[in-house]
Chain A
Amino acid sequence: MTRLKRNLLALLQPIIAVIIGLLAGAIAIILLGDSVIDTYREMWNGAFGSFYFLTNTLTRATPIILTGLGVALAFRAGFFNMGSTGQMVLGGLAAAITALYLPGPGWMVLIVSLVVGMAIGGLWSLFAGYMDAKFGINLLISTLLLNYIASLFAGYMVAFPLKDQSGSAAMAQTPMIDKSIWLPKLFSGMSLHAGFILAIVAAIALYIFIQKSVSGYEIRMLGNNPFFAAYGGVKRGRMMVVAMLTSGALAGLAGAGEVLGTQHRYLDGALASADYGWSGIMATLLASSNPLGTAVAGILLAALQTGAMGVERNTNVPLEVASVIQAVLTLFVSARFGYAFLKRRKEKK
């Protein structure tokens, strides 16, 4: 099979899944007694209808792409990192603390804050990897549990020691970060910030890393066939450190980007309740861990979510219709393995 044909075939499955997802959404809309065409038109307009809505979609896509990339790298190496929410929360918190308390010129503090956010996210993820490698504690479970611990810890930090005391609304949040440390906006008056460029750069860099570098090859090998990798001299422990550290760092960057680019403070629950982490996992599953595909899938999921807000504004259909479409989509992409299996069986006959 030629390379082009293989790439096209790889694209076919997600496209079919998108169609099935939209069909499932259509059924839900019909059951509600609304017009499918009107609803989907509103969804499209809400996501891409104007330049303003388009930038909103891309803003929402930014953390989804970054966490998705992190999960994709870990998946490639065969590690189920379910902890992106926790890594993102701690990364965002750490970036906020750095931005608030580190003296120095704005641009320098901004860079240091991003790096600190990445480092903390990476270390939190590495902690789970360490417990797996050293003590055999299932990564899937430990990363899930660490999510709750991270969110509760961040909740404590902003409810007590770091709480914003100024103003009448004493919400659980840190004080506002100084304007000079914000991530620059790409267009004035729009929400889209430089974090989006970071996300796209990260997607391309990760693609090149996985496809072209030796470590990338080893990571792929480890994920595809752990026994063969071990035979070939790939050290699972060392690869796990690399994969988990990078994976968590990307989630941490997502959190830092949200704090420095969108909210300009750490607000309790804002990162976890928006489900960026889980959307990132969905994006990875949709793209079967291809970094560039993850970026596209991240934008698609963000478009569904912002589009659903448009649907809710202009029709009777609740915005939750987007979560049904997303879930059906992911479920059908997971059947990809089965699809390959059927093909293999046919070939044997």
Chain B
Amino acid sequence: MDQLFDVSLFNSMLRIVTPILLAALGGAICARVGLFNVGLEGLVLIGAFSAILGNHLLGNVWLAIIFAILCVMLFSLIFAYISINLRANVIVVGISMNFLAAGLTTFCLRAIFDVKGAYYDKNMMGLPKWDIPVIKDIPVLGGIVSGHSPLVYLAFFAAILMQIYLFKTVSGFRLRAAGENPIAAQSLGIPVRRIQYGAVLMSGVLCGLAGAQLSLGQVTMFTEGMTAGRGFIALVATMLGQSNPIGVVASSLLFGFMDAFSIRLQGFALPAQFTQMLPYIVTLVAMFFFKDRSYLKDAQRANGSSR
């Protein structure tokens, strides 16, 4: 057992969980305004690519993150315009956005870097690792919590911030009202559309950060389709957490733990395929226990036929 559960397992769990958590928070804020964002996968992919591109063009990691955020915000505006103004089916738009992101990133990879599959530059600097004073000297805790990229800490900070914003501020209350009952909110003078746009843009910011962590946080490279379903997992985390930031943290941690655990299990005599399956199976099983009816209703209301 000591070989299975040690400090580095939990350390890698925090690293793995960060992109999922950031994207899931983006999904949660969209869900709160009544938009079921299936396009998270695509948004994160664009984020991952533009972070590398920004780093290549601007030569600075921090500017690269800002560049990624801006690109993803721009991309999420398309989602907002087509689903809010043109009243298209949100799920169909989300799926198409995923296609577009996959197509654009592979195309740009070929067009800009002239490589196929993956782009890697050994001179490129990734995100720094922060050692937290005092905490890094505490035996077990220090090994787990310290030494991550700043985005890891930012993700958890963002979750707390969002919890406070949604449930303790007037503006957060308005945002929830716009999602709960758009017509009633409208009649109270709440600018529903503007709030919806704000939420989609916010999810763009979060997905941009998620992508940056994915491509700059550990490996400093971009591979085609490197999100590999993380956006969909984030969607599941949003649902499991019932669009509640703290709940989203919990469900993301569950998935991150299973993922880190499955990598660890490969050291044993188990075939890799079965250990890789573990996170998906656990997620599926978890959905049996945490069902969010109101979320389903939202999805149904958003487009009479979501399921």
A16 in the interface (beta carbon within 8 A): no
Q: Is A300 located at the chain interface by the 8 A CB criterion?
A: no
**C-alpha spacing A31/B296, complex, angstroms:** 43
Contacts of A190 in B (CB 8 A): none
CB-defined contacts of B190 to chain A, threshold 8 Å: none
Measured CA separation A140–B90 after assembly (Å) = 13
Q: Is B25 an interface residue (CB 8 A)?
A: no
**In the complex the two chains form, what is the Cα distance from A47 to B287 in whole Å?**
44
A236 to chain B, nearest CB (A): 10
Contacts of A80 in B (CB 8 A): 91, 305-307
A285 interface hit (Cβ, 8 Å): yes
* Residue picked from A145, A149, A160, A321, most chain B C-beta under 10 Å: A145
Please name all residues of chain A whose beta carbon is closer than 8 Å to the beta carbon of B109 when the two chains form the complex.
320
User: Which of A75, A79, A330 interacts with B99 by CB under 8 Å?
Assistant: A330
**B304: contacting residue among A136, A139, A225, CB under 8 A:** A225
B97 adjacent to chain A (CB < 8 Å):
yes
Give the CA-CA distance A342 to B87 in the complex, in Å.
9
**Chain B contacts for A327, CB-based, 8 A:** 96, 99-104
B100 & A328 in contact (Cβ 8 Å cutoff) = yes
Partner of A139, one of B82, B85, B111, B307: B307
B87 pairs with A281, CB closer than 8 A? no
Give the residue name and chain of the A residue nearest to B109 (CB): A320
How many positions in chain A have a CB within 8 Å of any CB in the partner chain?
Answer: 54
Contact with A along B40-83 (1 / 0, CB 8 A): 00000000000000000000000000000000000000100010
Closest residue of B by beta carbon distance from A268: B273
Instruction: Give the residues in chain B near A318, CB-CB below 8 Å.
Output: 107, 110-111, 116
Q: Interface stretch among B155-163, B176-184, B195-203, B228-236?
A: B228-236
Chain A residues with CB under 8 A of B299: 138
Q: Report whether over half of chain B's contact residues are helix, strand or loop; otherwise say mixed.
A: helix
Majority secondary structure, A binding face: helix
Contacts A137-B291, A148-B229, A341-B87 known; A334 to B82 CB distance under 8 Å? yes
Among B129-137, B241-249, B274-282, the stretch that binds chain A is B274-282
B260 on the A face (CB < 8 A): no
Contact between A337 and B87, CB atoms less than 8 A apart: yes
CB distance from A337 to the nearest CB of B (A): 5
CA distance A342 to B304 in the complex (A): 18
- A149 neighbours in B (Cβ, 8 Å): 277, 280-281, 284
Report A240 CB to chain B, min CB distance, Å: 9
For the complex, is A141 an interface residue (Cβ under 8 Å from B)?
yes
Which residue of A is nearest B36, CB measured?
A140
Name the distance in Å between A331's Cβ and chain B's nearest Cβ: 4
Within the complex, what minimum Cβ distance (angstroms) separates A298 from chain B? 15
A223 interface hit (Cβ, 8 Å): yes
Count of residues in B whose CB is under 8 Å from the partner chain: 50
- Flag whether B239 is at the interface (Cβ < 8 A): yes
Q: Enumerate chain A residues within 8 angstroms of B104, measured Cβ to Cβ.
A: 324, 327
With A137-B291, A327-B104 already in contact, the answer to whether A78 and B82 are too (CB < 8 A) is: no
A79 to B229, CA, bound (A): 21
Q: Which of A132-155 contact B (CB under 8 A)?
A: 132, 135-142, 144-146, 148-149, 152-153, 155
Residues A320 and B106 in contact, CB atoms below 8 Å apart: yes
Whole-angstrom distance from the CB of B40 to the nearest CB of chain A?
Answer: 12
Q: Which of A132, A135, A148 contacts B307 (CB 8 A)?
A: A132
Q: Chain B residues near A330 (CB, 8 Å)?
A: 95-96, 99-100
A13 within 8 Å of B by Cβ? no
Report which of B92, B107, B232 forms a contact with A144, defined as CB distance below 8 A. B232
A338 contacts across to B, CB distance below 8 A: 82, 85-88
Residue of B nearest to A82 (CB): B95
14 contacts between A and B (CB under 8 A): A31-B111, A80-B305, A137-B287, A145-B280, A226-B305, A320-B107, A324-B107, A327-B102, A327-B104, A331-B78, A331-B82, A334-B93, A335-B86, A337-B88
Seen from chain A, the residues whose Cβ lies within 8 Å of a Cβ on chain B are: 28, 31-32, 75, 78-80, 82, 132, 135-142, 144-146, 148-149, 152-153, 155-156, 159-160, 223, 225-226, 278, 281-282, 285, 318, 320-324, 326-328, 330-331, 334-339, 341-342
Q: Which 4 A-B pairs have the closest CB atoms?
A: A338-B86, A323-B103, A78-B305, A318-B110
